[in-house]
């Protein structure tokens, strides 16, 4: 998770310093380039960048997943650092419990439906 967050920070730095953000086309989505249809996560990077700039409404309009990613990218490294400092495994235990819950059909189906609704919304917005 720490490596994922680090990769995300590097990607956000690229997004913040790139002129592609100003053109609103970061241009890495393989699905978008292959089919010209946005994927459910298209716009997430832009959403997180807008959150960092304080544009909360616009971030939500671009992709609500940006809020979830931003929270994960902020909380996870702090939690992991605290666990390392205190020699605990609370983050790992939380992750394992969450993974077990998400595998249950009623949670999994709900999350899949939310992703499908987000995908439809991305398509209708023409991201």
Mean of the per-residue pLDDT values of the chain: 87
pLDDT of residue 61: 93
Confidence (pLDDT) at 15: 73
Give per-residue pLDDT as tens, 81-106.
999 999 999 999 999 999 999 999 99
Whole-angstrom CA distances from 22 to 25, 26, 91, 95, 98 are 8, 9, 36, 36, 36
Q: Is 66 left (phi over 0), alpha (psi -120 to 50) or beta?
A: alpha
Instruction: Look at residue 74 and tell me whether its pLDDT is greater than 70.
Output: yes
Write down the pTM of the prediction: 0.78
Question: In the chain, how many H helices and how many E strands?
Answer: 7, 0
pLDDT at 25 exceeding the cut of 50: no
The domains of the chain are located at: 2-125
Looking at residue 20, the DSSP 8-state letter turns out to be T
């Amino acid at each position: 998770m720490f490596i994922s967050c680090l990769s995300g920070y590097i990607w956000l730095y690229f997004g913040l310093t790139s002129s592609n953000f100003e053109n609103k086309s970061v241009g890495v989505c393989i699905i978008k380039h292959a089919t010209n249809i946005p994927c459910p996560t298209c716009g997430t990077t832009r959403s997180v960048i807008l959150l960092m700039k304080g544009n909360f409404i616009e971030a939500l309009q671009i992709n609500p997943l940006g809020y979830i990613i931003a929270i994960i990218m902020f909380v996870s490294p702090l939690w992991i650092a605290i666990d390392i400092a205190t020699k605990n495994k609370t983050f790992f235990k939380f992750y394992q419990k969450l993974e077990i819950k998400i595998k249950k059909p009623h949670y999994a189906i709900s999350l899949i439906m939310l992703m499908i609704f987000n995908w439809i919304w991305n398509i209708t917005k023409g991201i």
